[in-house]
């Protein structure tokens, strides 16, 4: 498995909430996950926003403040290093926290958007959050409500970004999936595109995607990815029985 990763020129990485778990950011599903306490359709859907924009804004505001207080972890940093080692690299993240770019990844698609960007619901103008927000819900300078520039349930993926992700999945020699439950169809859809790639999964536990994966590296991403990186750079770092 390590040899495969070493020799591959094209690497697609797909990440989910689990990659930020060791930064102290809650995942969505499982114990302590957001969807245990909150209803997704109330907080992360256009209908929920229409019904109660203040409630939705408060939730995003709290998440933003939490993300601001925490930082990328060794898993994010290892992925930023991997980008430098592979000539054909793409990271597709479902996370909106911005930690991958903070850690240094540049060849990257934030397919669910970014919590640090806001978007006018009337003019669709996009801007970045500059400072702590005072008054919620936030409005655009035109007076219309602003919303977080993230993808909500029931909304379509950006077609250009989705095509880029699909093309990468189609030709990648290795697809590394990290910290995603696979409960949202995106990752399974991308894995269905792959032609010749080998799929390596990193997760605390087997997921919906494990059957499709060729290898499961079970454990915390913040420990496994740095070891995988070391193994990529030289022949040590991870005990690889599967080579």
Choosing from 76, 112, 124, 170, which is the catalytic residue? Answer: 112
The torsion region of residue 179 among left (phi > 0), alpha (psi -120 to 50) and beta comes to left
Burial of 45 (0-12, 13-18, 19+ CB in 10 A): middle
CA distance 119 to 37: 26
CA distance 163 to 207: 25
For ligand OAD, the binding residue among 14, 151, 190, 191 (CB under 6 A) is: 151
Nearest-approach distance from CB 141 to ligand OAD, in angstroms = 27
Q: By CB under 6 A, is residue 21 in contact with ligand OAD?
A: yes
Residue range at the interface with ligand OAD (CB under 6 A); choices 28-36, 52-60, 99-107, 158-166: 28-36
Residue in the shown chain whose Cβ atom is closest to ligand OAD: 18
Beta strands in 7-94 (DSSP E): 10-15, 88-93
CA distance 154 to 66: 26
Task: Write down the residue that tokens 């290892």 correspond to.
Answer: 78
Burial of 232 (0-12, 13-18, 19+ CB in 10 A): buried
Q: Which is nearer to ligand OAD, 90 or 202 (CB)?
A: 202
Q: By CB under 6 A, is residue 213 in contact with ligand OAD?
A: no
Residue range at the interface with ligand OAD (CB under 6 A); choices 59-67, 82-90, 175-183, 233-241: 175-183
Q: Which is nearer to ligand OAD, 8 or 187 (CB)?
A: 187
Q: Is the dihedral of CA 231, 201, 192, 44 positive or negative?
A: negative
Residue range at the interface with ligand OAD (CB under 6 A); choices 60-68, 141-149, 204-212, 228-236: 204-212
For ligand OAD, the binding residue among 63, 207, 228, 229 (CB under 6 A) is: 207
Residue in 196, 150, 186 with CA at minimum distance from that of residue 166:
186
For residue 112, indicate whether it is catalytic. yes
Nearest-approach distance from CB 28 to ligand OAD, in angstroms = 3
CA distance 181 to 5: 23
Note the residues at the interface with ligand OAD (CB under 6 A).
16-18, 21-22, 27-30, 33, 40, 44, 94, 112, 151, 153, 179-181, 183-184, 202-205, 207, 220-221
Catalytic residue positions? 112
């Amino acid at each position: 498995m390590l040899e495969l990763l070493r020799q591959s020129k094209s690497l697609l990485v797909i990440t989910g909430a689990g990659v930020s778990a060791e930064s102290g950011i809650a995942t969505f599903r499982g114990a302590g996950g957001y969807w245990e306490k909150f209803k997704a359709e109330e907080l992360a859907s256009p209908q929920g926003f229409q019904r109660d924009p203040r409630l939705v804004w408060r939730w995003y505001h709290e998440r933003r403040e939490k993300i601001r207080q925490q930082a990328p972890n060794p898993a994010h940093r290892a992925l930023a290093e991997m980008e430098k080692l592979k000539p054909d690299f793409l990271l597709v993240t479902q996370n909106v926290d911005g930690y991958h770019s903070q850690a240094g990844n540049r060849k990257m698609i934030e397919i669910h958007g970014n919590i640090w960007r806001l978007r006018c619901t009337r003019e669709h103008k996009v801007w970045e959050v500059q400072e702590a927000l005072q008054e919620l819900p936030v409005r655009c300078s035109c007076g219309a409500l602003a919303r977080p520039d993230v993808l909500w349930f029931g909304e379509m993926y950006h077609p250009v970004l989705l095509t880029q992700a699909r093309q990468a999945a189609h030709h990648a020699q290795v697809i590394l999936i990290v910290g995603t439950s696979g409960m949202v169809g995106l990752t399974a859809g991308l894995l269905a595109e792959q032609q010749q790639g080998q799929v390596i999964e990193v997760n605390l536990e087997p997921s919906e995607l494990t059957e499709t994966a060729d290898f499961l590296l079970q454990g915390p991403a913040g420990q496994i990815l740095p070891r995988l990186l070391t193994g990529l750079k030289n022949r040590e770092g991870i005990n690889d029985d599967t080579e």
